[in-house]
């Protein structure tokens, strides 16, 4: 069974979290490159990581997105206390903020399966199973990545988890943004994921009360372990490096 390092960064500035991701991602890719020049007996194992965190208010735009989907100018962003970054994941614009679980799996898919489509579906499935643990039925919306409620009803479909990833040499980064206790008002300042006819929701909104974030994290982690057939182990030294 694959051992995967689990790192919880808590509330961290988006750029700091992105830099931390990039460091782990780059080191993992470089190790794979180095291994190609070594006999099999001398190659080093690659270790994947699963990072959880929350970010202060920030909007991020994927490399295929349109800046026109941000409905605020620089002054309005400052007034809202929010940052904005163009980043190197797929997808369009989304929001991150307190009360949202942001998951960054930095996985060497050569240790699991080399299929990005399957990888995305498993990320969705882990969140869907977590929602089921809390009594919320979720599914997929045809043609749209992410996790949705009432996905069979176009008029009522609403997104509860956005997904956008990057991969190189079968190493992944970026990941998912799961609305637990998220302030949904911040989504009114963007056209989320470039979709202007669908709503965004959260566990808090659906259940009518504040949700214990640690219980949700534990549920997500358990489903990751089951679906990826892996074991999460805390990585204290990397966490200290990040801080």
Active site members: 193
Q: How far apart are CA 120 and CA 123, in angstroms?
A: 5
Pairing mode of beta strands 93-96, 100-106: unpaired
Residue 131's SS3 state is helix
DSSP bridge pairs for 14: none
Comparing CA positions, the residue from 233, 241, 242 lying closest to residue 50 is: 233
CA pair distance 151, 159, nearest whole angstrom: 9
Structure tokens at 83: 């940052």
Neighbours of 102 (CB within 10 A): 22
d(CA 37, CA 40) in angstroms, rounded, equals 9
In this structure, the number of other CB atoms found within 10 A of the CB of residue 151 comes to: 20
């Amino acid at each position: 069974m694959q051992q995967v390092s689990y790192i919880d960064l808590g509330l961290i500035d988006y750029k700091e979290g992105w830099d931390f991701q990039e460091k782990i991602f780059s080191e993992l890719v470089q190790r794979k490159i180095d291994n190609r020049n070594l006999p099999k007996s001398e190659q080093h194992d690659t270790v994947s990581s699963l990072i959880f965190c929350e970010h202060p208010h920030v909007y991020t735009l994927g490399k295929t997105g349109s800046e026109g989907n941000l409905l605020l100018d620089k002054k309005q962003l400052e007034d809202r206390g929010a940052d904005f970054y163009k980043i190197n994941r797929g997808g369009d614009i989304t929001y991150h903020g307190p009360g949202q679980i942001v998951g960054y799996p930095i996985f060497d898919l050569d240790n699991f399966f080399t299929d990005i489509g399957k990888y995305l579906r498993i990320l969705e499935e882990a969140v869907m199973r977590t929602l089921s643990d809390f009594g919320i039925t979720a599914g997929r919306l045809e043609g749209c990545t992410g996790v949705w409620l009432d996905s069979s009803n176009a008029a009522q479909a609403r997104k509860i988890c956005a997904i956008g990833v990057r991969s190189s040499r079968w190493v992944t980064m970026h990941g998912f943004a799961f609305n637990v206790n998220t302030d949904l008002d911040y989504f009114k300042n963007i056209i989320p994921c470039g979709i202007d006819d669908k709503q965004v929701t959260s566990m808090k909104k659906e259940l009518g009360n504040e949700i214990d974030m640690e219980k949700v994290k534990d549920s997500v982690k358990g489903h990751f372990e089951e679906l990826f057939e892996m074991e999460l182990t805390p990585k204290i030294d990397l966490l200290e490096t990040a801080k």
